[in-house]
Amino acid sequence: MQIVDAQIHTWGTGLPSNLSHWQVTKFSPEDAVALMDAGGVNAAVIHPPGWDPGSTDMAFNAVRDYPGRFAIMGSMPLEDPTTRARISGWRAQPGMLGLRYTFLHDPARQWLADGTIDWLWAEAEKADVPIAVLATDSLTGLAGIAARHPGLRLTIDHLGGRGGLTTLKDAAAMTHIPQLLALAKFPNVAVKATGAPGYSSEAYPFPAMHLYLRQVFDAFGPQRMFWGTDISKMPCSWRQCVTMFAEELPWLNDADKRLIMGDALCAWWGWNRAT
Band (274; pLDDT cuts 50, 70, 90): confident
Beta-strand pair 96-102/189-194: unpaired
At residue 167, the pLDDT reads: 87
Instruction: List the one residue out of 148, 13, 59, 23 whose CA is nearest residue 75.
Output: 59
Measured between alpha carbons, how far is residue 207 from residues 92, 199, 220, 254 in Å?
41, 11, 20, 21
Q: Is the pLDDT of residue 20 over 90?
A: no
At residue 24, the pLDDT reads: 93
The answer to whether the CB of 87 falls within 8 A of the CB of 129 is yes
Dump pLDDT digits (tens) for 176-194. Answer: 999 999 999 999 999 999 9
Taken in order of first residue, the domains within the chain and their CATH numbers are 4-269 (3.20.20.140)
Lowest pLDDT segment from 15-29, 49-63, 230-244: 15-29
Dump pLDDT digits (tens) for 198-221. Answer: 999 999 999 999 999 999 999 999
At residue 270, the pLDDT reads: 97
Dump pLDDT digits (tens) for 77-133. Answer: 999 999 999 999 999 999 999 999 999 999 999 999 999 999 999 999 999 999 999
CB atoms closer than 10 angstroms to residue 4: 24
Q: Is the pLDDT of residue 163 over 90?
A: no
Percent of the chain with pLDDT strictly greater than 90: 95
Could you tell me which residues come within 8 angstroms of residue 193 by beta carbon, excluding any fewer than 6 positions away?
6, 159, 213, 216, 225, 226, 227, 228, 245, 260
Q: Is the pLDDT of residue 275 over 80?
A: no
At residue 89, the pLDDT reads: 97
Beta-strand pair 43-46/70-74: parallel
Band (165; pLDDT cuts 50, 70, 90): confident
Dump pLDDT digits (tens) for 239-248. Answer: 999 999 999 9
| pLDDT mean across residues, the chain | 96
Question: What mean pLDDT comes out for the span 246-265?
Answer: 98
